[in-house]
Structure 1
Amino acid sequence: MGLKLLLLLLSAALLAGCSALVDRRAAEREAEAERAFPPLGQMVEVEDLRLHAVVRGKGPDVVLIHGLSGNLRDFTFSMVDRLAERYRVIAFDRPGLGYSDPLPAEANGLTDQARVLSKAAAALGAKRPLVLGQSYGGAVALAWAATRPDSYSGLVLVSAVSQTWPDGLPLFYRVTSSRLGSQFAVPLISAFVSEATVNAAVAEVFEPQVAPPGYAAHIGAGLTLRRQTMRANADQRADLKPEVEALRRLYPGIRRPVEIIHGTADPIVPHDVHAIPLSQQIPGAALTLLPGIGHMPHQVAQDAVIEALDRAARRALPR
């Protein structure tokens, strides 16, 4: 056996051993996360997918759609309980995140997610709910309204992505959405990312405010760090910009009541790039800007968000 071939075989064996070690560590951490943060609700089956939903309260139906790198625990921290006092609230894990099954990689976009979530809501008895989406979930809510106009009654968009923007795809998502990054980087992140790094990411999302006490412990960030979830999340983020470009041509056709609420200090989805143009593209849309508020008004300015939902309900629903 030649020296070069021997070295190649030894290198391959070393890489295989390292890969097995990383995968084993990632699997252990995934199991730990699932033990610490089990499902909170029920499973709904649509299109051969199982979607995780929390359903609480009585009254008009409201569907809540979370953003990137999250799950329905973002809403169950406090908002679901408040809304359940007078609404029937359905909070979903979006496909591929939390405990919901992923869509096929080739059909994992905004309109695909809107379709399966609207079908899941109908399966739960919500034929025409109010739909509230935050951040990326706002883009899913817009796709729901634009492509399934008879399956909702009103729209509330919180810090919603709605327009294209000049920046390219961040390095993290360029890596994790690539073939090699998905195969090698994602397991490494899942296996070894520190709790301090996770807490720093949560803090960054809330800037310039801070997360409410107990939020980081409740949200279940370890669920987001599972390999399958990271891959689904990365693919969704990588495809977001071209999907929004195609979707925004449909905004003028949205005819049901729309409430847009956005912080003026949002560093992630700037209000002047997204909320203000959107308010001009949808006939009759109402825009509420929250001075000094960042990307998470449903946590740090929750009263204002609930008031926007109440306004949408008054506009959309018969007495």
Structure 2
Amino acid sequence: MKLILLLLGLVVFSVALTLWKAARHERLSEEHWPPEGEFLTIDGHRVHYVLRGSGPDLVLIHGASGNTRDFTFAMVDRLAGRYRVIVFDRPGLGYTDRINRTGATLRQQADLLVRAATELGAERPLVFGHSYGGSVALAWAVHHPERLSGLTLSAAASNPWSTGLGTYYTVLSHPIGQSLVIPALTAWVPDRVVDDTIDSVFLPDMAPEGYHAHIGAGLTLRRVSMRANALQRANLLEEITAQVPRYGEIAVPVEIVHGDADETVQLRVHSIPLSQQIAGANLTVLDGIGHMPHHAVPEATDAAIDRTASRAGLR
């Protein structure tokens, strides 16, 4: 009996220590990387956004595990001279509240961001989406065709793929992983592990100097963000599969940029088919570029946005 009580005490102590360290890690991360912008509330959900510049409205939507800081590192400053740039944190990521605990769907995310953009006076903005953010941008175009003027996609996940979910997301999207594994990762995984993951996503390119310090690895490791991101990623294939038949309905100008060395979202699986599914879509293939074109070859993504704006009659 004493041994059982001892083991039980050790378990309780370990759980308490893990939860304390997780909360501490989150608090320190939010102190180090506080919100960059302002907040608005849509149906009780707090939405974090950054707004800079003047000109035609342009909404930027970040990818999985990301936040506004991916774009405020350099892209917003490049574009703010000729666009009124709005960057949103997607639900559960950065400082935007989760919509639900089952993984906000692409349409739910698009619905929320459309309403947030309208609240900010952007009734028919240009929309740019990177990676998972490109999936949300496509949902925006499919479900709210009257609420955008043009669409620019960079390394966007857009078509079904044959590889599995992978152990990481399989575990973290499971109820046990959500309850037990994620708090342990938040508590015990150092931020440098996220930095290493970022480097692998950039390959064969390199993250620009200062990017790791700016992006906020600790924000990604917060429990709320890990839970939301894992569920969104686990649901993505089914949602993409359901979305594909609607691409032919997209009638706004569409520009697509994608690196042919991207191993995260492969060109041949996603953007090549997408360019054939949307009438008038223009695909620019970036030779030797990986998954982060807006950092590796910023002139290419900026030019694609400008082409979209010109085709939409906004430049």
TM-score for the superposition, normalised by structure 2: 0.98
Q: Does 1:280 align with 2:273?
A: no
Deviation at 1:186, TM superposition (A): 0.4
Deviation at 1:164, TM superposition (A): 0.8
Match of 1:50 in 2: 46
Match of 1:222 in 2: 218
Structure 2: 5+ residue runs without aligned partners? none
Match of 2:208 in 1: 212
Deviation at 1:47, TM superposition (A): 1.6
CA distance in 1, matches of 2:293, 2:36: 23
Contact 1:70–1:221 (CA<8 Å) still a contact in 2? no
Q: Does 1:146 align with 2:150?
A: no
Contact 1:264–1:294 (CA<8 Å) still a contact in 2? yes
Q: Does 1:299 align with 2:279?
A: no
Deviation at 1:14, TM superposition (A): 2.5
Match of 1:105 in 2: 101
2:128 pairs, out of 126, 132, 137, with 132
Q: Percent of pairs identical after alignment?
A: 52
Query: What whole-Å deviation, never above 9, does each CA across 1:34-92 have from its counterpart, x for those lacking one?
Result: 01101110001112111000000000000000000110100000000110000000000
CA distance in 2, matches of 1:199, 1:127: 37
CA distance in 2, matches of 1:189, 1:38: 21
Match of 2:163 in 1: 167
Amino acid at match of 1:159: A
CA distance in 2, matches of 1:150, 1:8: 64
Secondary structure of the residue aligned to 1:38 is coil
CA distance in 2, matches of 1:65, 1:12: 46
Q: Does 1:90 align with 2:83?
A: no
Amino acid at match of 1:178: H
Match of 2:244 in 1: 248
Deviation at 1:221, TM superposition (A): 1.0
Amino acid at match of 1:150: E
CA distance in 2, matches of 1:318, 1:78: 23
CA distance in 2, matches of 1:75, 1:208: 20
Distance 1:224 1:80, change over 3 A: same
Secondary structure of the residue aligned to 2:50 is strand
CA distance in 2, matches of 1:186, 1:176: 7
Of residues 54-63 and 165-174 in structure 1, the stretch that sits farther from structure 2 once superposed is 165-174
Number of aligned residues:
315
Amino acid at match of 1:172: Y
Secondary structure of the residue aligned to 1:166 is coil
Match of 2:73 in 1: 77
Secondary structure of the residue aligned to 2:231 is helix
Of residues 129-138 and 170-179 in structure 1, the stretch that sits farther from structure 2 once superposed is 170-179
Amino acid at match of 1:194: P
Contact 2:103–2:235 (CA<8 Å) still a contact in 1? no
CA distance in 2, matches of 1:11, 1:123: 55
CA distance in 2, matches of 1:53, 1:185: 30
Deviation at 1:184, TM superposition (A): 1.0
Secondary structure of the residue aligned to 1:150 is helix
Amino acid at match of 1:221: A
Amino acid at match of 1:304: A
Structure 1: 5+ residue runs without aligned partners? none
Deviation at 1:17, TM superposition (A): 1.8
Amino acid at match of 1:114: A
Match of 1:27 in 2: 23
Match of 2:57 in 1: 61
1:190 pairs, out of 181, 186, 193, with 186
CA distance in 2, matches of 1:318, 1:52: 26
Query: What whole-Å deviation, never above 9, does each CA across 1:265-297 have from its counterpart, x for those lacking one?
Result: 001001000000000001111100000000000
Secondary structure of the residue aligned to 1:51 is strand
Deviation at 1:9, TM superposition (A): 5.1
Contact 1:190–1:225 (CA<8 Å) still a contact in 2? yes
CA distance in 2, matches of 1:33, 1:318: 39
Match of 1:315 in 2: 311
Secondary structure of the residue aligned to 1:288 is strand
Secondary structure of the residue aligned to 1:240 is helix
Secondary structure of the residue aligned to 1:310 is helix
Deviation at 1:13, TM superposition (A): 3.5
